[in-house]
Amino acid sequence: MNFDPRFSGRKFTSVGTRPIRPDGVDKVTGRARYGADFNMAGQLVGRVLRSPHAHAKIRKIDTSKAEKLPGVKAVITAADLPDLTDGDAAMYDILDNCMARTKALYDGHAVAAVAAVDARTARQALKLIVVDYEVLPHVTDVDEAMNHHAPLINDAIFTEGLEEKPVKPSNVTKRSQFGHGDVHQGFGHADFIVERSFKTEQTHQGYIEPHACVASVSSDGTADLWVCTQGHFVYRQHCAQLLGMEASKLRVTSSEIGGGFGGKTHVWAEPVALALSRKAGRPVKLVMTRDEVFRASGPTSATSIDIKIGARKDGTITAAEATLRYSCGPYAGSWAEIGAMTAFACYKLDNVKTVGYEVLVNRPKTAAYRAPSAPMAAFAVESAVDELAKEIGMDPVEFRIRNAAQEGTRSSYGPVYGPIGIGPTLEAAKSHPHMKAPLGPNQGRGMACGFWFNFGGQTCTDLNIGMDGSVSLAVGTVDVGGSRASLSLVAAEELGIAYEHVKAIVADTSSLGYNDMTDGSRGTFSSSMATISAARNAIKILRERAAQMWDIAVDDVVWEKGHAVAKGEKHGNLGKLSLKEIAAASGKTGGPIAGHSELVADGAGVSFATHICDIEVDPETGSTRVIRYTVVQDAGKAVHPTYVEGQYQGGAAQGIGWALNEEYIYGKDGRLQNPGFLDYRIPVCSDLPMIDTQILEIPNPNHPYGVRGVGETSIVPPLAAIANAVSNAAGVRMTHIPMSPPRILAAIEAERGG
Partner 1 sequence: MAGVAVSTTINGDSVEYLCQPDETLLDVLRDRLGLTGAKEGCGTGDCGACSIILDDRLVCSCLVLGAEAEGRRVETIEGMAHGDKLHPLQQKFLEHAALQCGICTPGFLIAAKDLLAKNPDPTEEEIRFGLAGNLCRCTGYDKIVRAVQDAATVMKGA
Partner 2 sequence: MVEVTLWGALGQLAGGQSKVEIEAKDIRELFRKLAEQYPAFEPLIDRGIAVAIDGTIYRDTWSKELPQGAEIFLMPRLAGG
364 belongs to the binding site for partner 1 (CB under 8 A): no
CB 258 to partner 1: min, Å: 3
Q: Which of residues 432-471 bind partner 2 (CB under 8 A)?
A: 453-458
625 belongs to the binding site for partner 1 (CB under 8 A): no
Residues 6 or more apart whose CB falls under 8 angstroms from that of 24 comprise: none
Q: Are 33 and 271 in contact (CB under 8 A)?
A: no
Region binding partner 1 by CB under 8 A among candidate stretches 23-31, 371-379, 435-443, 457-465: 23-31
654 belongs to the binding site for partner 1 (CB under 8 A): yes
Partner from partner 2, partner 1, none binding residue 334, C-beta < 5-8 Å depending on class: partner 2
Buried b (16+ CB within 10 A) or exposed e, 450-474: bbbbbbbbbbbbbbbbbeebbbbbb
Region binding partner 2 by CB under 8 A among candidate stretches 600-608, 625-633, 659-667, 680-688: 600-608
Q: How many CB atoms lie within 10 A of CB 357?
A: 27
299 belongs to the binding site for partner 2 (CB under 8 A): no
CB 319 to partner 1: min, Å: 37
Q: Which of residues 475-494 bind partner 1 (CB under 8 A)?
A: 480-482
Which residue among 289, 316, 443, 464 contacts partner 1 (CB under 8 A)? Answer: 289
Distance from C-alpha of 422 to C-alpha of 339, rounded to nearest angstrom = 18
Q: Which of residues 57-116 bind partner 1 (CB under 8 A)?
A: none
Question: Beta strand pairing status for 576-578 and 563-566?
Answer: antiparallel
CB 480 to partner 1: min, Å: 6
End-to-end CA distance of the chain: 69
Distances (CA, A) of 93 to 89, 238, 268, 272: 6, 12, 11, 15
CB 697 to partner 1: min, Å: 19
CB 108 to partner 2: min, Å: 21
Which residue among 58, 338, 495, 502 contacts partner 2 (CB under 8 A)? Answer: 338
Listing DSSP states for 428-477 in one string gives: HHHTSHHHHS---TTEEEEEEEEEE----EEEEEEEEE-TTS-EEEEE-S
- Give percent helix, percent strand, percent coil of the chain, each to the nearest 5: 30, 25, 45
Residues 6 or more apart whose CB falls under 8 angstroms from that of 162 comprise: 175
652 belongs to the binding site for partner 1 (CB under 8 A): yes
CB 370 to partner 1: min, Å: 11
Binding to partner 1 by CB under 8 A, coded x per residue (else -) over 667-696, reads: ---------xxx---xxxxxxx-xx-----
Give Cα 284 to chain centroid, integer Å. Answer: 28
CB 310 to partner 1: min, Å: 37
Distance from C-alpha of 552 to C-alpha of 532, rounded to nearest angstrom = 26
Binding residue count for partner 1, defined by CB under 8 A: 58
Distance from C-alpha of 179 to C-alpha of 351, rounded to nearest angstrom = 7
CB 20 to partner 1: min, Å: 5
Q: Which of residues 352-371 bind partner 2 (CB under 8 A)?
A: 368-371
Closest CA to 310 of 404, 403, 450, 188: 188
347 belongs to the binding site for partner 2 (CB under 8 A): no
Distance from C-alpha of 639 to C-alpha of 643, rounded to nearest angstrom = 9
Closest CA to 520 of 654, 329, 657, 710: 710
Partner from partner 2, partner 1, none binding residue 465, C-beta < 5-8 Å depending on class: none
Q: Are 4 and 533 in contact (CB under 8 A)?
A: no
CB 496 to partner 2: min, Å: 29
Binding to partner 2 by CB under 8 A, coded x per residue (else -) over 181-220, reads: ------------------------x---------------
Partner from partner 2, partner 1, none binding residue 163, C-beta < 5-8 Å depending on class: partner 2
Which residue among 562, 650, 706, 738 contacts partner 1 (CB under 8 A)? Answer: 650
Radius of gyration in angstroms for the set of CA atoms belonging to the chain, rounded to a whole number: 27
Give Cα 269 to chain centroid, integer Å. Answer: 19
337 belongs to the binding site for partner 2 (CB under 8 A): yes
Distance from C-alpha of 508 to C-alpha of 744, rounded to nearest angstrom = 49
**Residues at the contact surface with partner 2, assessed by CB under 8 A:** 90, 160-161, 163, 174, 176-178, 205, 261-262, 265, 334, 337-338, 341, 368-372, 411, 413-418, 453-458, 519-522, 600, 602-604, 606, 701-702, 711-712
**Residues at the contact surface with partner 1, assessed by CB under 8 A:** 18, 20-21, 23-25, 27-34, 36-37, 39, 120, 205-210, 256-261, 287, 289-290, 480-482, 642-643, 645-647, 649-650, 652-654, 676-678, 682-688, 690-691
